[in-house]
Amino acid sequence: MTWESLWTALALVLVIEGLLPFFSPQSWRHAVQQIAQLQDGQIRFFAFLAIVVGLLMLWL
| pLDDT at residue number 20 | 93
Quote the pLDDT of residue 60: 84
End-to-end CA, the chain? 14
How many angstroms from the chain centroid is the CA of residue 5? 18
How far lies 23's CA from each of 12, 14, 34, 36, 51, in Å?
Answer: 17, 14, 19, 21, 27
Q: Digits of tens for pLDDT over the chain (60 positions)?
A: 688 888 999 999 999 999 999 999 999 999 999 999 999 999 999 999 999 998 998 888
pTM for the whole thing?
Answer: 0.69
Q: Can you list the pairs that 50-53 forms with residues at least 24 positions away whose Cβ atoms lie under 8 Å?
A: none
